[in-house]
Amino acid sequence: MNLKIIRKNITELNANDKSTIDKFVEDNDGLIFHETTFNEIVANNFKTKLSYALAYGNEDLIGVCPIHIIKKGLLKINYSNLSHCEVPYGGWIYDKNKISIRILMASTKIKLNESLNYWSTIQPNNNDYLNSGITEMVRFNTVILDLSTTIDDIFNKSLSSKQRNKIRRAQKLGVVIENIPLSNFDGFIKLSSQLKLKIGSPLRASSYYKNVFEFYSKKKKAVCLAAKYNGQYISSMILLANNNYTIAWIAGRQTDISNNLYQNEYLWWESIIWAKKYGSKYLDLCGLDELKLPQLARIKLSFSKNIVPFYLIVKKTLLFRVINKIQNVFIN
């Protein structure tokens, strides 16, 4: 096979090109985080230079990877996704029948003054990265729930009786789950900011979340669910969906409420229902950190024990390292 990888700036892609990329992403187990519009929103909000690496085999498109570039003096840092800006996954989406991640990563070149921070997408099965021969690869975990069975089977067979009782308890206590519309999106931002302040996460401009939610909610691919108690929103979550995954993307929570309302368990359950109705194959509970966020990890694992990996790979040239050290000395 004649493999060719080209890099195209987003401004070089017309509407048909973007549509082709987005369809390829959906057809090959990709996520909304790989789509062109999502990455354009990210680039506009965080001032990156966006391009796409496009792999062709015998003139057929066989792989796509978004690339964000941030300049640092003489250096250019390439990101497959801005993980530090709440874009958890990225990397190559590719036709596994025609190409491997080993070949794609070996063919992903960087210039002497560049580095690459590469986060993969979720690897639920047929994990191509394990046989890639890449030695400097750091594993991270997330939790996914298979949505192939009926919603009744998920509730009665996948959830423990203790978990089912918590959900019923929340309902009996008067917790209700509502959709937060775009017109009331500030309600979500308020809850999200409270949670970020509590766990020490950086606050982002509300326009970022609003831009994403506005675009994808109009396409029926996003919803903002909120648990309401005594007339107030107390917990919330934005879900982003395509046919492969519904992603529990950004959460928000009041920090001064009782621990026995079980609103979070109820909210997760309604998220499962929404993802199932949408038609996704999986619900991704978006990350698992049992050391830093043990309570959240326990809640996620109470809904699914299916822990799957994604990976971080960092490439830096020797010249990049030297220039970076020199720049850091002068900056400091």
In this prediction, residue 199 carries a pLDDT of 83
* Fold that domain 3-140+310-331 belongs to in CATH: Aminopeptidase (3.40.630)
The whole-model pTM stands at 0.94
322 neighbors 161 (Cβ within 8 angstroms):
no
Amino acid 108 reads T
Q: Which residue type occupies 249?
A: W
Label residues 82-120 b or e (16+ Cβ within 10 Å = b). beeebbbbbbbbbeeeebebebbbeebeeeebbbbbbbb
Q: What integer pLDDT is reported at residue 202 of this predicted model?
A: 87
Radius of gyration over alpha carbons of the chain, in Å? 21
State the chain's mean pLDDT as an integer: 94
For 14, other C-beta atoms within 10 Å of its C-beta total 9
Over residues 269-279, the mean pLDDT reads 98
Rounded CA gap, 252 and 264, in Å? 10
Residue 62 is predicted with a pLDDT of 98
Mean pLDDT, residues 100-107 taken together: 95
Q: Using pLDDT thresholds of 50, 70 and 90, give the confidence band for residue 1.
A: confident
Q: What is the pLDDT of residue 259?
A: 77
The pLDDT of 91-102, averaged and rounded, is: 96
Instruction: Report how far residue 101's alpha carbon sits from residue 313's, in angstroms, rounded to the nearest whole number.
Output: 12
pLDDT above 90 for 177: yes
Confidence of residue 80 (pLDDT cuts 50, 70, 90): very high
Separation between Cα atoms, residue 304 and residue 154, nearest integer Å = 10
Percent of the chain with pLDDT over 70: 100
pLDDT score at 329: 85
Answer positive or negative: Cα dihedral of 84, 249, 241, 42.
negative
> For 8-40, what is each residue's pLDDT tens digit?
999 999 999 999 999 999 999 999 999 999 999
Q: What is the mean pLDDT of residues 312-326?
A: 93
For the cut 70, the answer to whether the pLDDT of residue 332 exceeds it is no
CATH superfamily of this structure's domain 149-280: Gcn5-related N-acetyltransferase (GNAT) (3.40.630.30)
Tell me phi and psi for residue 33, to 5 degrees: -65, -15
- How do beta strands 114-119 and 75-79 pair? parallel
Q: What is the pLDDT of residue 287?
A: 92
> Is the fold of 3-140+310-331 the same as that of 149-280?
yes
Q: What is the pLDDT of residues 292-306, one digit of tens each?
A: 888 889 999 999 999
Give domain limits for the chain: 3-140+310-331, 149-280
Reported as a single tens digit per residue, the pLDDT across 201-239 is 888 889 999 999 999 999 999 999 999 999 999 999 999
Q: Which range among 21-25, 123-127, 191-195, 317-321 has the greatest average pLDDT?
A: 21-25
pLDDT at 330: 78
